Structure 1
Amino acid sequence: MPAPPDWLKTMANQVAALMYDVDVLAPIGCHFFHHHSRDEWEVTLFASNTEIVGGEWDGVLAPSKFCLDILKLREIFDEITALYWQALPVSYDDQLGAHVSVEAVYEGHQVWVRVLSESPEEFEPGRRIEAYEFDLKEIW
């Protein structure tokens, strides 16, 4: 996959900065795709899981707890045309699950940005914690 354009990286970082941690926030993942036919960029952000190593919870993938400052989203985009909250997965194969969805214009580019409440299953954990050492290790 080619590298994202600089403006997209800037926008993704601005949105990610609105994800305020409740505990220690795991690394933020970003997936993007350009729909050429619609000239729209689809961007998905999520906090990665933390894999617990050792102890009774060994092997558990724990989601990162965070809040999203939705009101400040309007400061990032030139125009917001739609803003949605999907509270639950809509089907058994819905990989996005609960998320906030923003359809907007950023520096003249049509974007569809989603901030997921949990990391999609296909992504590896972004960090590990050694249960007996209380040592957080960033993986990506």
Structure 2
Amino acid sequence: MSGHKPDKTDEQWRKRLSPEQYAVCRCSATEPAFSGKWYRHKEQGTYICVACKAPLFVSETKYDSGSGWPSFFQPVTRSAISLVQDDSHGMHRTEVRCAACQSHLGHVFPDGPKPTGLRYCINSLALDFVPMK
């Protein structure tokens, strides 16, 4: 990953992403709980950003949080994601974005397992998957 920030127009994002992916990645929508493609997924590999293909999480850090969304206890690297304070909907949360393209991924909460104690609660619509070879 080069660290280059893709400079796409809204129209380019709309062409690249499905309407559902666009709503999550570019408008910070949330898919319904227990509906996502990757929620119960158990295959070994890397979860990547659906918008720019940057690696975000590896299967070894995925766990079943019972929340209804794919959950991870840490990103592939700290620099893979950016965190933004989100005070929308009357809640104080920390939004998780792809550091490479700033797509909305989900939120991080301090109720995850060891060793980090964090739960990265991520929308399946924001992710794609590359199986381990």
**TM-score, structure 2 as length reference:** 0.28
Greater C-alpha radius of gyration: 1
